Amino acid sequence: MPAQILKVAPRPQPVTAAPLIRFAGVGLSFGRTEILRGIDLEIAAGEFVSVIGPSGCGKTTLLRLLAGLQKPSAGQVSMAGRPLRGPAPDIAVVFQDYANALLPWRTAAGNVALALEARGVPRPERAARIAELLQMVGLGAHAERFPAQMSGGMQQRLQIARCLAQDPSVLLMDEPFGALDAMTRHKLQDELRGIVRRTGVTAFFVTHDLEEAIYLGDRVIALAPHPGRIAHSFPVTLPPQRDQLSTREDPAFLALRRALFDFIQEASA
Amino acid sequence: MSARRHLAWGLASLLVLAMAIGLWSWIARAGLVSAVFLPGPERTWAAIVKGLQSGVLVQQTGQTLRRMVLGWGLASVLGIGAGAVIGLSARARVWVLPLLEGIRPLPASAVAPVAIVFLGLSEQMILVLIAFGALWPMLLTTAHGVASRPARLAEVSRCLGLSRTAYLRKIALPGALPDIFGGLRLGLTVALILAVVGEMITAQGGLGTRILLAARSFRAPDIFSGVVVLGLIGLASNAILSLAEAWLLRWRPR
């Protein structure tokens, strides 16, 4: 199975021999309910993987396994050759519900500081790093605002900044832009892609928006439900430089969108 | 608009206060109640001025204030500490809370004789009495506040690699602060009541002792001056707490 995925997924960037992340025969059941079965998946360092599938197919659960928030009942998830035993500071998670994931009593700067405090970054070094990260997500002028004084898009930017403060090698995102309006979503997609390319972080992006999955990803993993399993792995053959208008009109984009759409129709039936 | 309304409401409350004092003055002057029991505002005010000039009232107020603050502080430390532990652990909630719920309704004044047996009619006894009574609101609100934090923040904490104590200090307790403030406020009222009760029982000085002794020798203006000062203490301490709350919870959406 992994070999097959590798074959259909030629990556645009040079890839090291060993994958950074490996799911080997991973399954998860709660009592009699089987959520995920036989997940074999390899992700290379620096790769941007999008995950789609009909609702209830276990997309979020797959992400939680990789985050170490959930333990598999079968198989193993490993990172850099070592089995994952729980949440690792090296793996950052952007949750969909940004309002619950931020500390409302801390300012934007304070929320970013939390990740630095957890890493034990000495106090004198924090301020400069915080300013840099807030600048990177476009919140440079809003360091002293509390989350309640920010729009949804700004709050999600802030959560991304806090995740980057962990200096992670893997960035997990669970429908991060699902609750935002279309304009904000497009803007954040471009910013996210830019950040991922600049930092070289490996991205694992769960979404229900097929176009978003293609636009952002180097590869799109499609999950089928009952129980959740990997049905397809579609390589994204678009040039790395993407644009909200021209990329979305690219024949390769449209062809892949059609393939994903057909898959979802079939899987939901 | 809002500021003008604020002002209007403030003026209205002052007007009501003035009317209440006027009514009090009229009842006293009309002789509806014997002057031995009910001094008018004028004689009460005179007693306050006399107490301030001689320094006795200042000293007594200081004693009561000190006890109230110390006992309340003791209760805060114990209540918030124990409440945090109970709030964090589902097991502690199941095992310990029923016991605490059983002790809580005990009137603190009924516990006073027990405290006297162990500590005598002493300063410590008053503080223990205050702490015992003021402990419960803080403990229960803290436990509730810590336990009802969104599960998401606990996951964020795990993902960031925060230690358990860091989680408690940086996430659980600040998140429970709105609830804790409710407990601090209730506890402060209880602390003032029990400071006075303790002073009446032990005769260790303070406003409680002043009122008790004045009552025994029918010095009504002295009683009333003590009561008025107690009312002012309650008003002022609540106002200070409200200011602290407004500042510490300024992050809340309005």
CA distance A92 to chain B (A): 7
Who among A86, A101, A117 is closest to B156 (CB)?
A101
Domain residues for the domain of A257 are: 2-87+201-268
ipTM above 0.95, yes or no: no
Same domain, B128 and B177: yes
Same domain, B20 and B49: no
Domain residues for the domain of B183 are: 41-248
Look at residue B154 in the predicted model and tell me its pLDDT. 92
Residue A176 falls inside a structural domain: no
Same domain, B133 and B61: yes
CB contact under 8 A, A105 and B150: no
Same domain, B16 and B53: no
Angle ∠(A227,A231,A232) on CA atoms, nearest 5: 160
Cα–Cα distance for residue pair A106/B249, rounded to 1 Å: 10
- pLDDT greater than 90 at residue A51: yes
Residue B91 falls inside a structural domain: yes
Residue B220 falls inside a structural domain: yes
Same domain, B115 and B135: yes
Closest-CA residue of A relative to B247 is: A105
Helix residue ranges, H only, chain A: 2-8, 59-67, 98-101, 108-119, 123-136, 152-165, 182-199, 210-216, 246-249, 251-268
* CA nearest to A223, candidates A46, A61, A76, A83: A61
Look at residue B15 in the predicted model and tell me its pLDDT. 93
Same domain, B96 and B21: no
- Residue A1: pLDDT band (50, 70, 90) is very low
Cα–Cα distance for residue pair A190/A244, rounded to 1 Å: 8
- For residues A266 and B156, the model is more confident at B156
A97 CB within 8 Å of a chain B CB: yes
List of residues 6+ apart from A222 with CB closer than 8 A: A52, A53, A230, A231, A232, A233, A234, A260, A263, A264, A267
Residue A83 falls inside a structural domain: yes
- Residue A3: pLDDT band (50, 70, 90) is very low
Length of chain B as a residue count = 254
Q: Which residues of chain B have pLDDT under 70?
A: 1, 254
Cα–Cα distance for residue pair B66/B58, rounded to 1 Å: 12
Residue A181 falls inside a structural domain: no
**Number of independent structural domains in chain A:** 1
CA distance A36 to chain B (A): 21
CA distance B157 to chain A (A): 9
Cα–Cα distance for residue pair B27/B41, rounded to 1 Å: 10
Q: List CB contacts (< 8 A) between B152 and chain A.
A: 95, 97, 100-101
Same domain, B10 and B122: no
Look at residue B1 in the predicted model and tell me its pLDDT. 55
Same domain, B46 and B27: no
For A204-248, write each residue's pLDDT tens digit.
999 999 999 999 999 999 998 888 888 889 999 888 888 888 888
Residue A261 falls inside a structural domain: yes
Report CA Rg, chain A. Answer: 18
Look at residue B92 in the predicted model and tell me its pLDDT. 84
Cα–Cα distance for residue pair A209/A249, rounded to 1 Å: 16
Same domain, B22 and B45: no
A31 CB within 8 Å of a chain B CB: no
Residue A34 falls inside a structural domain: yes
Contacts across the A-B interface (CB distance below 8 Å): 60
Look at residue A11 in the predicted model and tell me its pLDDT. 46
A108-119 vs A123-136: helix axis angle to the nearest 10?
A: 130
Look at residue A7 in the predicted model and tell me its pLDDT. 40
Same domain, B197 and B121: yes
- pLDDT greater than 60 at residue A15: no
What is the CATH classification number for the domain harbouring B168? Answer: 1.10.3720.10
Same domain, B113 and B209: yes
What is the CATH classification number for the domain harbouring A15? Answer: 3.40.50.300
CB contact under 8 A, B177 and A103: no
A150 CB within 8 Å of a chain B CB: no
Who among B155, B160, B252 is closest to A166 (CB)?
B160
Q: List CB contacts (< 8 A) between B252 and chain A.
A: 104, 148
Residue B108 falls inside a structural domain: yes
- For residues A5 and A123, the model is more confident at A123
Around B24, how many Cα atoms within 13 Å sit in the side-chain half-sphere?
16
Look at residue A10 in the predicted model and tell me its pLDDT. 43
Q: List CB contacts (< 8 A) between B246 and chain A.
A: none
Mean pLDDT computed over A251-266? 90
Same domain, B13 and B136: no
**Number of independent structural domains in chain B:** 2
Cα–Cα distance for residue pair B165/B239, rounded to 1 Å: 32
Residue A44 falls inside a structural domain: yes
Closest-CA residue of A relative to B172 is: A103
